Chains A and B, each alone.
Chain A
């Protein structure tokens, strides 16, 4: 396991927090990641293999979570590491930690795929409606998705439901503020406030446990 610390935050927190396993990157790990990105930027392709060894599994977990499809997640993982190789020179340590930077690249690529898929699904729905073809029974797929979603939502379960929902929609689904407001039938200002409170609460817990 490449991450140095892994511990359970106790439920004596003012926020309900049943068994959320919090893992934080060790500063030494972050330094190693940063060094590997610097080597990559300098043209040392060998650093990419080391990054893959260190972060491939975590990023694949992220991609699988967003895409819900193992094969597509692997394709996105390939895209991610090629992008890391291409863009390593643009990494700015002042604006994000190396792992966060990698995560946001992977997430962006996954969300692009998700949006393409949604557009195709919308087009298919439109076609179904126009042609009268009945919708395919995808109950089993939904069950799998709900299971996966339930497992993941555990990670955010320390937050009030409305804050968790806003953050999940934003991070995992790539929804904009406006889309979240529309989908949840909530004023935009309220969505922003929920995100702020949720993010600060998470930060508070992390600082409390690892600061």
Chain B
């Protein structure tokens, strides 16, 4: 090729030949690779020897590559793409794939951990003691049958039919497992509904390569929230959130005054995220008129590296009057909780998949929750004013 090519000793030529034919042992491959990095002439020699390989292959009689093989390749790649979720700048059907991936993860987590829903709920919900209370109480009483959900989904698990068992621990475990199965079954049902309806695709910005998938807990069905919201009873919900009580909506007569449009404020973290006794003296064991509805459990996705994420509120559609707003909750310098409006459904959105941008701070990964806010501009405010419809994810 050119006369300036460096000549090599026999050993080097031999190593290069063996390297090209993949005959060198792994340690020698690494050593030779290091030599290659620093020696352009050696790289040239290797390139030329690799040309031998090309020629050996090209000397073979070609066989036309069949179309049916390409069909199988395309199918396999498409399936693999669905599993790996490499995010493009815009994704038409990625929202659906995300949801499918989340369902798989949820099922996998369940099968692996077999951890009870109460454990999850206690960690996930500020009002967990209250929410879990009735279940625990029933468990103590012996044989139970869980109440039917308000709106059974098509793929609902069979009705509860626990055999009479008197051992409280066994009963409690049975309840946990049964509840978990019901949660997952309802999630799958909701997911099926979303997929069937071909929810409006969402867009996540480019650069998202890893996702943290988390589940949020419903505190209200969206319909309930909307009905309550129309009664203008939002402030008490927010107050409940601030005091660590049930975040579900309450009867308007129970309202706790909270200035709508107040200055950006901080909520005490331990009161927001913890399970402490309510600061306002309310009895945490008092049954809430809001129920935990496990069907259509919201699913969230978050990439800590880029701060990009999305939350899907399954079985929910925004109305013209209200938006769903995503809030991030982080710890301030003094340890108190800082809330930030990070995303909302647009007024004309036809789905409730909300993408947002919430960079991780030095305080750590934010928690997210969703409120229902009026669509008259409050959705862009710095403080939540509407009822909470999805609570922070489990840690």
Contacts and interface: CB of A to CB of B under 8 A. Distances in A.
Nearest to B20: A199
Could you tell me the dominant secondary structure of chain A's interface residues?
A: helix
Interface stretch (A19-27, A119-127, A134-142): A19-27
Contacts of B73: 48, 52, 78, 81-82
Contact of A196 (B14, B43, B47, B57): B14
Contact of B54 (A21, A85, A86, A100): A100
B226 to A, nearest CB: 40
B52 interface: yes
A203 B23 contact: no
A170 B49 contact: no
Interface string A53-93: 10011111110110000100110011001100110000000
A86 B72 CA distance: 15
Interface in A155-211: 155-156, 167, 170-171, 176-177, 192-193, 195-196, 198-200, 202-203, 206-207, 211
A43 B88 contact: yes
Interface of B: 1-2, 10, 13-14, 16-18, 20-23, 33, 36, 43, 47-66, 69-70, 72-74, 76-77, 80-81, 86, 88
Interface of A: 3, 20-25, 43, 45, 48-49, 52-53, 56-62, 64-65, 70, 73-74, 77-78, 81-82, 85-86, 94-97, 99-100, 103-104, 108, 151-152, 154-156, 167, 170-171, 176-177, 192-193, 195-196, 198-200, 202-203, 206-207, 211
Contacts of A77: 65, 69
A103 B61 contact: no
Secondary structure class of chain B's binding surface, majority of residues: helix
Contacts of B10: 193, 196
Contact of A177 (B23, B58, B72): B23
Top-10 shortest CB links A-B: A56-B65, A155-B59, A23-B58, A199-B17, A61-B60, A57-B62, A196-B14, A211-B1, A202-B52, A60-B63
Given A56-B69, A78-B69, A202-B52, 17 more contacts: A24-B55, A24-B58, A57-B64, A60-B62, A74-B66, A95-B33, A97-B47, A97-B50, A108-B22, A155-B60, A171-B56, A193-B10, A195-B17, A198-B17, A203-B51, A203-B52, A206-B55
